[in-house]
A and B are shown apart, each in its own frame.
Chain A
Amino acid sequence: EVQLVESGGVLVKPGGSLRVSCTASGFTFTNAWMSWVRQAPGKGLEWVGRIKSKTDDGTADYAAPVKGRFTVSRDDSKNTLYLQMNSLKTEDTAVYYCSTVSRYCSGAACYYYMDVWGTGTTVTVSS
């Protein structure tokens, strides 16, 4: 069974740091592109960032509100995705979901979608 399990969400003070994890099972993690999406209480979904597989250069892209503060990384030997969050702000309070990113290509065009999701981990930034 394909499964993603997030962990590490806690209460942290503004300005603090936190790393949350996402452990994968049931598929070849090494080949997967992965993403983080968050949802503040009572709000909509916000894409946070995505990391490619190492065979596809392993680079990451980020949403503007987190760029320079958050880092997405992966440890393929542990089938684990990470989100390192620094300089946390109260507006970073959210449920953080990890997901796989699948790709569908037709001709020269490729399309991406997030198809397997974890259950989320809650990060609360408050003094």
Chain B
Amino acid sequence: AIQMTQSPSSLSASVGDRVTITCRASQGIRNDLGWYQQKPGKAPKVLIYAASRLQTGVPSRFSGSGSGTDFTLTISSLQPEDFATYYCLQDYSYPWTFGQGTKVEIK
């Protein structure tokens, strides 16, 4: 199975900060990657699919980039509602696999 490694596992940031989360695949996955946001006690929500396509309704401060093995989720200006855990997911081959998650906390 393809292993997905996210970094960092957690970070502290302030409102207005630019935040970058990375995800590395153990083998090339083209751009078959999505990013999900999860708040405590809630179901995940898709932010980005196909590495860089913004899901309808997701604020434009979220963006994704990358291809092959290295991917990035960027939040251009962190808002209070963005404090959550973020996961990448590869859909290149089965079994689909998530990264271990990145918890974004308030500094």
Number of interface residues of B (CB under 8 A): 27
A37 within 8 A of B: yes
Which chain A positions have C-beta within 8 A of B34?
Answer: 111, 113-114
Q: Is the interface of A mostly helix, strand, loop or mixed?
A: strand
Whether B98 and A44, one on each chain, are in contact in the complex, defined by CB atoms closer than 8 angstroms, is: yes
Name the prevailing secondary structure of the B interface residues: loop
Q: How many residues of A contact B (CB 8 A)?
A: 25
- Kindly state the separation between the CA atoms of A120 and B84 in the bound complex, as whole angstroms: 18
- Give the distance to chain A from B28, nearest Cβ to Cβ, in Å: 13
Q: Are A45 and B101 in contact (CB under 8 A)?
A: yes
A45-B38, A47-B98 known; A113-B55 Cβ under 8 A: yes
**Contact in complex: A112, B91 (CB < 8 Å):** yes
| Residues in A neighbouring B87, C-beta threshold 8 A | 44-45
By a beta-carbon cutoff of 8 Å, the part of chain A in contact with chain B is 37, 44-47, 50, 61-64, 97, 99, 102, 104, 106, 109, 111-115, 117-120
